[in-house]
Structure 1
Amino acid sequence: MKPEQFVNALNEQGISLNEKQKEQFAEYFQILVEWNQKINLTAITSEHDVYLKHFYDSISAAFYHNFTGNLTICDVGAGAGFPSIPLKICFPDLNITIVDSLQKRIHFLNQLAAQLSLKNVTFHHDRAENFGKNKQFRETFDIVISRAVARMSVLSELCLPLTRKNGVFLAMKGQHADAEINDAQNAITILGGDLDTIHTFQLPEENSERSIILIHKNRKTPRKYPRKPGLPNKSPIT
């Protein structure tokens, strides 16, 4: 996907980019490629693939949920900034918090935000299990989002404790999302969530399957969750 195709594809979804935003995406691509030579951020480095598989794919969350206004968003395990930084470029009023367990990635994200002149973006070097226990952040975010981090039974324990009551946990998945949801249903319920919708679509050009899973947080998460770092992955809630 070339940059002009990316702009046109977003237009078709009702998302219009101005010149500044187009420049921010172009600069994001350049910074990503430069830093990727120093630290391992992504295996995807061609302009065509970054615009399609990282930028467009990240923004697809906004095709199925409203991201306008000064919402508070927590991105769990953002890696090189996906999906929250592309969403922030498209919707500048968002208040973004990113938590990631690797200090090198946090350093990259700090530099990226500075070079792109992004405001109201904060980064935390922490395990999601510890971050979800922090009273300052626990059950405070309008939307908690995560892309390609862990299977749903694990991801729910990392994300729902951070989602405010009546907020939304949004998981971005590839194929087989239905099977993941079936395995995670009990965990989602225990953690205070209820499955709303699974939106399944194909990424343009390559036609690979993607799913956006929306879970509403209707009850407070029991205090014992999330459990100690590593335990959700080792022994998911069943």
Structure 2
Amino acid sequence: MTPEGSALLRRGLNALRLGATDDQMALFARLLDLLQEGNERVNLTALKTEEDIVLKHFVDSASCLNGGHLDGDLRVVDIGTGAGFPSLPLAILRPELRITPLDSIRKKVDFVRATAQALGLDTVHPMVGRAETLGRSPEHRQRYDRVVVRAVAALPILMELALPLLAEGGLLVAQKGAITEEELDAGANAAAEVGGEVEEATPFLLPVLGDARTLVVVRKVRATPARYPRREGVPTQQPLFWRAK
């Protein structure tokens, strides 16, 4: 990472009121190198430049820590992790988290696994799969303290994918762009259907870039009915209380 990239990362993290040790900064620098090297072999992300990766992957992922909802020794699943975001930045900044990055694309999960090992992030255990399948598996259903997602799908879809994985009292922490009242209302209805309750939807601006973001936090307040999640693909094609776009 160049000095300019390092300064940009510190600026973004400081704006989020997140400090980073020299060791953590070194891990971010290594992560940048590995991501750029991996992108030459496999299409991992559309973001190629140091500035884009630092701001739109590293700082953007770190914004999931807003509000302190991911503080502590927690079992976390990251749905739709892609090339490891937000999982890898979260693991660097909060090494006490036990994170399962989940994605249906094996080549991306293989990259995340190899990268976590290279960085010494031994609490990161990637998995190939879909949330609908995990949500019906006794090993994973209602077993997690937190589900984290970043710009994966509309809120009503996220509710059905995420809440079956949460233990009662657990939280879905969903980082999204700007959202409409229509989407938020549909998300609240879907949350209620699958055992959740929206606690907050906090708009904020991504540091440096100023892009609109919203952090949506949903608490699991009761067991998810056995009929959810529906089979693979159905939550996306036929979202609860929402017309698929």
Band of TM-score, shorter chain: over 0.9
Name the structure 1 match of 2:51. Answer: 48
Change in 2 beyond 3 A, CA 1:184/1:123: same
Q: Name the amino acid aligned to 2:192.
A: T
Matches within 5 A, 1:75-94: 75-94=78-97
Q: 1:162 and 2:165 equivalent? A: yes
Report the Cα offset of residue 15 of structure 1. 2.2
- State the Cα deviation string for residues 31-88 of structure 1 (Å, max 9, x = none): 1111112221111111111111110111111122332321111100100111121011
Which of 28, 35, 38 is 2:41 aligned to? Answer: 38
Which of 17, 20, 26 is 1:17 aligned to? Answer: 20
Native 8 Å contact 2:73 2:97 kept in 1: yes
Q: 1:5 and 2:26 equivalent? A: no
For the residue of structure 2 that corresponds to 1:74, the secondary structure is strand
Indicate the larger mover: 180-189 or 143-152: 180-189
> TM-score normalised to the size of structure 1?
0.95
For the residue of structure 1 that corresponds to 2:226, the secondary structure is coil
Q: 1:213 and 2:216 equivalent? A: yes
Native 8 Å contact 1:132 1:138 kept in 2: yes
Q: Which runs of 4+ in 1 moved over 6 A?
A: none
Q: Name the amino acid aligned to 2:229.
A: P
Native 8 Å contact 1:177 1:211 kept in 2: no
Native 8 Å contact 1:64 1:199 kept in 2: no
Report the Cα offset of residue 12 of structure 1. 4.5
For the residue of structure 1 that corresponds to 2:114, the secondary structure is helix
- State the Cα deviation string for residues 83-139 of structure 1 (Å, max 9, x = none): 121011001111001111011111101110111110121111111100111111111
Native 8 Å contact 2:144 2:170 kept in 1: yes
Q: Which runs of 5+ in 2 are unaligned?
A: none
Q: Name the amino acid aligned to 2:18.
A: I
Q: 1:72 and 2:87 equivalent? A: no
Name the structure 2 match of 1:198. Answer: 201
> TM-score normalised to the size of structure 2?
0.93
Q: Name the amino acid aligned to 1:209.
A: A
Calculate percent identity across the aligned residue pairs: 36
Within 2, Cα distance between the matches of 1:157 and 1:119?
Answer: 29
Name the structure 2 match of 1:113. Answer: 116
Name the structure 1 match of 2:146. Answer: 143
Which of 220, 238, 242 is 1:235 aligned to? Answer: 238
Report the Cα offset of residue 216 of structure 1. 0.8
